[in-house]
Amino acid sequence: METLPPTLNLLFRSSLESAPSFRSPRVSLLRRFFIGCRFVASAAGGFCAGAEDSLLSFINGKMKATDVAHSIWKIVIRGGDTVVDATCGNGYDTIALLKLVADDSRRGCVHGLDIQSSALENTCYLLRESVAEKQRELVKLHLLCHSRMEDILPKDAAVRLIAFNLGYLPAGDKAIITKPHTTLFALQAASRIIASGGLISIVIYIGHPGGREELEAVLSFASSLAVEGWNCFKFETANRSTGPVLVFIIKK
């Protein structure tokens, strides 16, 4: 792991040994919970119409791709989980992840990676501005290519979610983009460390040169995963050739 610039030391780093022990897949539990919530809402005189709201909002162009990804994360991640933001960018995903893993147990952990120090500085700044210090302690930032994520995770880490936001750093140097071959290495690494029931979430921007090649690399990787072990799904606009694409990969 490369040494972080001093500004990044603003964030405390709790011991990786405090990462939570992994729990069993929770989808069926979520399902029961959802039914329970519907009942609660119904009993209180309402009907929880929200079940598909975010999906429709996305179809309707009223919700960004990253917001849809966040809304999926919400039901995959539980407080105390260990997750990875493979591409910190300006830190918005890092914060969204942090809010989901932070709970009273203080075992939650977000490993944030980026190959650009300016990205990690921006993430640091955003964390300082919008998150309490106690929560910030759960974030560990690493100036590292996402293809090397295994280098900074302990061998027994049970990683619940790994998030990729592929393209270039918004408002940064657009010549520096994630590249198909390193993204492919990163996805391979992610598939080795993601826990059973865990999610690899990928938002791919394809409007810039090289974007479509990266999408092809991601889809090639996803399509190579055996259906016995993985569920892979792709969402995309059908009448905008440069709209972002969402790919979700769940390890069974």
* Interface pattern 50-89 for a second copy (x via CB under 8 A): xxxxxxxxxxxxx--------xx-xxx-------------
Q: Is 12 in the site for a second copy (CB under 8 A)?
A: no
- Cβ atoms 250, 191 nearer than 8 A: no
- Cβ atoms 120, 88 nearer than 8 A: yes
- Cβ atoms 157, 197 nearer than 8 A: no
Q: Which residue has the tokens 């069926």?
A: 28
Q: Is 152 in a helix, a strand, or coil?
A: helix
Q: Is 95 in the site for a second copy (CB under 8 A)?
A: no
Phi-psi bin for 61: left (phi > 0), alpha (psi -120 to 50), beta? left
Q: Provide CB contacts within 8 A for 185, sequence distance 6+.
A: 147
Q: Is 224 in the site for a second copy (CB under 8 A)?
A: yes
Q: Is 33 in the site for a second copy (CB under 8 A)?
A: yes
Using CB under 8 A, which of 3, 129, 175, 227 touches a second copy? 227
140 or 251: whose CB is closer to a second copy?
251
Edge-first strand listing for the sheet containing 159-166: 139-143, 109-114, 82-85, 159-166, 194-204, 245-251
25 or 172: whose CB is closer to a second copy?
25
Q: Is 27 in the site for a second copy (CB under 8 A)?
A: yes
30 or 176: whose CB is closer to a second copy?
30
Q: Is 21 in the site for a second copy (CB under 8 A)?
A: no
7 or 54: whose CB is closer to a second copy?
54
Q: Cα separations (Å) of 11 from 17, 61, 152, 229?
A: 18, 36, 16, 37
96 or 145: whose CB is closer to a second copy?
96
16 or 225: whose CB is closer to a second copy?
225
Instruction: Count the residues of the shown chain that bind a second copy, applying the rule CB under 8 A.
Output: 58
The residues binding a second copy (CB under 8 A) are: 27, 30-31, 33-34, 36-38, 40-41, 43-62, 71-72, 74-76, 219, 222-227, 230-241, 247-250
